[in-house]
Chains A and B, each alone.
Chain A
Amino acid sequence: MIRSDGLAACGQVNMATASNDEIRILTPSGMLGYGFPVDHFRRGLALKPHAITIDSGSTDSGPQKLGKGEMTCSREAYVKDIEVLLQAQHETRIPVLISSAGGDGTNLHVDVFRDIIAEIAKRRGWQFKLASIYANIDKAHIARELRAGRVEPLGPVPPLDPREIDAATVVVAQMGAEPFLKALDESEGVDVIVSGRAYDPSPTAAMAIRAGFDPALAWHMGKIMECGALCAEPVGRNVMGYLRQDHFEIEPLNPEERCTTASVAAHTLYEKTHPFLLPGPGGTLDLSQCKYEQVTDRRVRVSGSRFIPSNPYTVKLEGAKTSGYRSIFIAGARDPIFIAQIDGLLEKVFAATRAYFSDVPPETYRIIPHLYGKNGVMGDLEPVTTPAHELCIIVEVAAATQSLATAICGKARTTLMHAPYPGRIATAGNLASPFTPLEIPLGEACEFNVYHLMKVDSPTALFPIRYEEIRA
Chain B
Amino acid sequence: MSAATTPLREIAKVIRSKNAGPFEITLDIVFKTKEDFEAVRQSGVITKELVSQLYNVPTQNIITFGFFDLINAVKITLPRARAQGGVGETDMHAAQQHVPLQEIRVPWPVVS
Contact of A156 among B28, B79, B84 (CB under 8 A): B79
Nearest-neighbour CB distance to chain B for A321, whole angstroms, equals 10
Asked if A383 and B103 sit within 8 Å, CB to CB, the answer is yes
Which A23-63 residues have C-beta < 8 A from chain B?
59-63
Asked if A446 and B73 sit within 8 Å, CB to CB, the answer is no
Segment touching B, from A74-82, A263-271, A348-356: A263-271
Asked if B84 and A62 sit within 8 Å, CB to CB, the answer is yes
Asked if B23 and A155 sit within 8 Å, CB to CB, the answer is yes
Type the 1/0 row for A140-158, where 1 means its CB is closer than 8 Å to any CB of B: 0000000000000011110
Nearest-neighbour CB distance to chain A for B37, whole angstroms, equals 11
The interface size bin for chain A is: 35 or more
The interface residues of chain B lying within 8 Å CB-to-CB of A60 are 19, 84, 93
Contact of A273 among B64, B91, B97, B99 (CB under 8 A): B64
Asked if A59 and B84 sit within 8 Å, CB to CB, the answer is yes
Segment touching B, from A7-15, A216-224, A372-380, A421-429: A372-380
Type the 1/0 row for A287-314, where 1 means its CB is closer than 8 Å to any CB of B: 0101010000000000000000000000
- Give the distance in Å from the alpha carbon of A448 to the alpha carbon of B83 in the complex: 7
- Give the distance in Å from the alpha carbon of A157 to the alpha carbon of B91 in the complex: 19
Contact of B85 among A270, A379, A447 (CB under 8 A): A447
**Main SS class of interface, B:** loop
A262 interface hit (Cβ, 8 Å): yes
Do A273 and B90 contact each other (CB < 8 Å), given the known contacts A63-B84, A156-B23?
no
The interface size bin for chain B is: 35 or more
Do A366 and B88 contact each other (CB < 8 Å), given the known contacts A155-B24, A381-B97?
yes
Asked if A269 and B75 sit within 8 Å, CB to CB, the answer is yes
Asked if B87 and A275 sit within 8 Å, CB to CB, the answer is no
- Give the distance in Å from the alpha carbon of A324 to the alpha carbon of B77 in the complex: 30
A323 interface hit (Cβ, 8 Å): yes
Most buried by B among A274, A383, A445: A274
A272 interface hit (Cβ, 8 Å): yes
B20 interface hit (Cβ, 8 Å): yes
Most buried by B among A262, A270, A275: A275
The interface residues of chain B lying within 8 Å CB-to-CB of A448 are 22-23, 83-86
Which A48-106 residues have C-beta < 8 A from chain B?
59-64
The interface residues of chain A lying within 8 Å CB-to-CB of B92 are 61-62
B54 interface hit (Cβ, 8 Å): yes
Chain A to chain B contacts (Cβ below 8 Å), 29 pairs: A59-B22, A63-B85, A63-B86, A64-B85, A155-B21, A155-B23, A155-B24, A156-B80, A266-B71, A269-B26, A269-B73, A269-B75, A273-B20, A273-B63, A273-B77, A274-B64, A274-B77, A275-B68, A323-B87, A326-B87, A370-B90, A377-B96, A396-B88, A446-B85, A447-B87, A448-B83, A448-B84, A451-B21, A451-B22
On A, residues with C-beta under 8 Å from B are 59-64, 154-157, 262, 265-266, 269-276, 288, 290, 292, 323-324, 326, 366, 368, 370, 376-381, 383, 396, 398, 445-449, 451
Extra inter-chain contacts (19) besides given A266-B73, A275-B75, A378-B97, CB under 8 Å = A62-B85, A63-B83, A63-B86, A154-B21, A155-B21, A155-B23, A270-B28, A272-B20, A273-B24, A274-B64, A276-B70, A377-B90, A377-B91, A379-B90, A381-B100, A383-B100, A396-B87, A448-B23, A449-B83
